Amino acid sequence: MRKRALVLTLVLALVLGLTAEAAPLRAPRLYENLTFSGTTATCSASVRADNATDTISMTVKLWQGVTCLKTWTASGTGSASLSKTATVTKGKTYKLTVNATINGVAQPQQSVTRTCP
């Protein structure tokens, strides 16, 4: 009787453990990158939803201080990305911001700040 109870307990633990791992939670991911080559800034951003059928819209902005130098938009289903360039000045500090919505729900803003060498 004890053996049977122990085997049943082990089987149950195994099944419950597999069920918990069968459907991992995936969170939306936002990526941003700002690089420089001379006086050219490359501004890259991507958004990946947690579902391949989710509707994505994003706005990417390049800032110098409080001045918005460039604005780009992209959209897609399941994911969206863009890579654009802008002319910048050496020695100045720039900020790239990414605002995205997934199925109309705003995601936390992502940003990166770098100085053009």
Domain of 40, in residue numbers: 29-115
> Has residue 33 been placed in a domain?
yes
Count of domains forming the chain: 1
| CA–CA dist 70, 62 (Å, integer) | 5
Domain annotation covers residue 16:
no
Note whether 48 and 76 are within 8 A (CB). no
Q: What is the pLDDT of residue 9?
A: 57
Amino acid at 113: T
In a domain, 19, yes or no: no
pLDDT tens column, 8-52: 555 555 544 544 444 444 578 999 999 999 999 999 999 999 999
Is the pLDDT at 101 greater than 50? The verdict is: yes
Instruction: Give pLDDT, residue 28.
Output: 82
One-letter amino acid for residue 96 of the chain: L
Question: Is 24 part of a structural domain of the chain?
Answer: no
Name the residue type at position 99: N
Average of per-residue pLDDT values in the chain: 87
